[in-house]
């Protein structure tokens, strides 16, 4: 497609389409071993996956390339019937699956992990095609995605209960941990593989079964995982996938959150949608995990290493073109270091960022997921400029859903970009004077997922880390997500934790057993 690149601080769009990849110029052919995406035809699935079978729905919906707006393929558009069938299949499979030993479940998850690694490149191509993510990042996501299955395959054998000292001599007290049951897994488009394995790995490890509803923009990654689950030997009904269009999502989502056979809901997405699902779940008092919106502050204190802060800002902001829930959104830079930081950050943006199609090897910034997302960023920039912000780099909407990576100075807290999550390549910078001022701005948000700050003052590091109202803090580090650490927020950023040794607890119930009448 046309080459999109940054030059001398300006992003220039070349209207040259002769290089458009052939996969985006003609429809798919699934008759050969390899599809036009260069992906194994086995992995390019377009039907729902229910009880170990590929199931067609009455209608289909298109999956689009965010870079071009062109159709990639049509996928089965599941409704409440298919969702109900999937719930029934998961419930039927739950009792035999939980009866497997922890070691048996561990072995199957490990096989699934191995298969994902074997097909990493193909799976990454699917992510790039349906989400627009640069290929290098898609490969990185697949490594991250696989790591959750590896981690939870190991944690499956470490689900321990307790033996508690009793108050009387004629009894023993045991606390048992047991799987909650069927889990509805509702996932976003920005990490279409990793957000599934982070939830499903924990659920399957302890003996739960799942119904996955992937985002309508990115169902192909979920269906490819389903194919590999079959190859790994995961029994029918344990892992089910019901893709659906935006139009059918409300009805399908409601069923998955209200059906009495469902015991658990795990959702990653916006705070507004999370509140709707919580209301649905309340009717049957289901267990819920919610990883919701963020609005991460990124604070640079006078004591910071400016070069490291700039590198951290680039990594934290521009990964996936700013479309991650832990992306830095509100940049607060202390007055003594502000000008040096801005100059170096602008130069780094010029040197390191290249906008283009995700399949192009030199691309670092792909498209936003759709034109609505680009319009949101565009509106935030226009609002900021109208209130006095200065565009230092970028600032313009490009073709389709592409946005110029943008740096703004002279930003204040009244601007829209400081009050709502961006989900795009925009850095608004506020200058502050004192630590207390920075913390007040950082904490003045109803959400609290992640936060970042740079400082070389050890006392300040302890003070700020403890006072930041977020679930995750990056100190002198812009990339903090890892399988081994807990992931989740406070305030309206959600409930519960994923990953780490704590993620598995979200799918377990504790049962108290009193064994009495003993002669001891």
Residue 112 DSSP symbol: H
Residue 438 pLDDT: 98
Kindly state the tokens that stand for 268.
């990653």
Specify the pairing of strand 209-213 against strand 182-186. Answer: parallel
User: What is the CB neighbour count within 10 angstroms for residue 273?
Assistant: 19
Q: Are 194 and 148 in contact (CB under 8 A)?
A: yes
Angle at alpha carbon of residue 417, lines to 414 and 422, rounded to 5°: 160
Instruction: Report the C-alpha gap between 461 and 15 in whole angstroms.
Output: 48
Per the rule left: phi > 0, alpha: psi between -120 and 50, beta: everything else, 496 is: left
Residue 281 pLDDT: 97
Burial of 308 (0-12, 13-18, 19+ CB in 10 A): middle
Kindly state the tokens that stand for 273.
């949608």
**Per-run averaged pLDDT (10 residues), the chain, 520 residues:** 33 32 36 64 96 98 96 97 98 98 98 98 97 97 98 97 96 98 98 98 98 98 98 98 98 98 97 96 97 97 98 97 96 98 98 96 96 96 98 96 97 97 97 98 97 98 98 97 97 97 97 96
> Does 484 qualify as catalytic in the annotation?
no
> Does 291 qualify as catalytic in the annotation?
yes
Residue 37 pLDDT: 80
Q: Are 421 and 294 in contact (CB under 8 A)?
A: yes
3-state SS class at 484: coil
Give residue-wise pLDDT tens across range 416-439. 999 999 999 999 999 999 999 999
Residue 38 pLDDT: 87
Question: How far are the Cα atoms of 22, 74, 121, 289, 385 from residue 27, in angstroms, in the given order?
Answer: 9, 10, 21, 39, 42
- Provide the residue ranges of all domains of the chain, joining segments of one domain with +: 48-292+499-508, 296-470
82, 150, 155, 291: the catalytic one is 291
Homologous superfamily assigned to 48-292+499-508 = Aldehyde Dehydrogenase; Chain A, domain 1 (3.40.605.10)
User: What is the CB neighbour count within 10 angstroms for residue 359?
Assistant: 22
> 423-440: buried (b, 16+ CB within 10 Å) or exposed (e) per residue?
bbbbbbbbbbeebeebbe
Q: How distant is the alpha carbon of residue 352 from its chain centre?
A: 24
Between helix 219-232 and helix 194-206 the angle, nearest 10°, is 40
Instruction: Report the C-alpha gap between 44 and 224 in whole angstroms.
Output: 6
244, 325, 327, 417: the catalytic one is 325
Between helix 135-155 and helix 102-118 the angle, nearest 10°, is 170
User: What's the predicted TM-score (pTM) here?
Assistant: 0.92
Residue 138: enclosing H or E segment and its boundaries?
Answer: helix 135-155
Burial of 99 (0-12, 13-18, 19+ CB in 10 A): exposed
Kindly state the tokens that stand for 94.
């739950």
* Fold exhibited by the domain 296-470: Aldehyde Dehydrogenase; Chain A, domain 2 (3.40.309)
Give residue-wise pLDDT tens across range 100-145. 999 999 999 999 999 999 999 999 999 999 999 999 999 999 999 9
């Amino acid at each position: 497609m046309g080459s999109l690149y940054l030059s001398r601080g300006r992003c220039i769009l070349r209207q040259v389409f002769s290089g458009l990849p052939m996969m985006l110029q003609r429809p798919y052919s699934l008759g050969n071993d390899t599809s036009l995406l260069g992906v194994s035809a086995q992995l390019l699935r377009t039907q729902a996956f229910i009880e170990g079978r590929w199931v067609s729905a009455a209608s289909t919906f298109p999956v689009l390339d965010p870079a071009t707006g062109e159709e990639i393929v049509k996928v089965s558009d599941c409704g409440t019937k298919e969702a109900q069938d999937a719930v029934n299949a998961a419930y039927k499979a739950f009792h035999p699956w939980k009866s497997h030993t922890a070691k048996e479940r561990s072995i199957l998850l490990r096989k699934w992990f191995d298969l994902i690694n074997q097909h990493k490149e193909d799976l990454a191509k699917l992510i790039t095609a349906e989400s627009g993510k640069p290929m290098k990042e898609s490969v990185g996501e697949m490594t991250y995605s696989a790591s959750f299955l590896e981690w939870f395959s190991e944690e499956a054998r470490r689900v321990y209960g307790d033996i508690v000292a009793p108050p009387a001599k004629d009894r023993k007290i045991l606390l048992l941990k047991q799987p909650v049951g069927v889990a509805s897994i509702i996932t976003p488009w920005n990490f279409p593989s990793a957000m599934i394995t982070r939830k499903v790995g924990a659920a399957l490890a302890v003996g739960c079964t799942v119904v996955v509803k992937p985002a309508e923009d990115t169902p192909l990654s979920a269906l490819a995982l389903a194919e590999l689950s079959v190859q790994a030997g995961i029994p029918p009904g344990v892992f089910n996938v019901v893709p659906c269009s935006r139009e059918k999502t409300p009805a399908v989502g409601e069923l998955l959150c209200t059906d009495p056979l469902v015991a658990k809901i795990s959702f990653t997405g916006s705070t507004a949608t999370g509140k709707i699902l919580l209301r649905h779940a309340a009717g049957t008092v289901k267990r819920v995990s919610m990883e919701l919106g963020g609005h991460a502050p990124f604070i640079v204190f006078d004591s910071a290493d400016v070069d490291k802060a700039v590198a951290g800002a680039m990594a934290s902001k521009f990964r996936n073109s700013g479309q991650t829930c832990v992306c830095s959104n509100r940049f607060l830079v202390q007055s003594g270091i502000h000008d040096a930081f801005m100059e170096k950050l602008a130069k780094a943006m010029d040197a390191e960022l290249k906008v283009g199609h995700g399949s192009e090897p030199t691309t670092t910034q792909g498209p936003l997921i759709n034109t609505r997302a680009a319009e949101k960023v565009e509106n935030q920039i226009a609002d900021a400029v109208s209130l006095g912000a200065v565009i230092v780099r970028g600032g313009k909407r490009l073709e389709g859903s592409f946005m110029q990576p943008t740096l703004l100075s002279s930003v204040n807290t009244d601007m829209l970009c400081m009050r709502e999550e961006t989900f795009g390549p925009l850095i608004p910078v506020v200058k502050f004077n004192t630590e207390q001022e920075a913390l007040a701005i950082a904490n003045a948000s109803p959400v609290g997922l992640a936060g970042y700050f740079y400082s070389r003052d050890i006392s300040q590091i302890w003070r700020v880390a403890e006072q930041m109202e977020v679930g995750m803090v990056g100190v002198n580090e812009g990339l903090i997500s890892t399988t081994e650490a807990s992931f989740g927020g406070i305030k309206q950023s959600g409930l519960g934790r994923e990953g780490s040794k704590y993620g598995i607890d979200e799918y377990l119930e504790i049962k108290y057993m009193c064994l009495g009448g003993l002669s001891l």
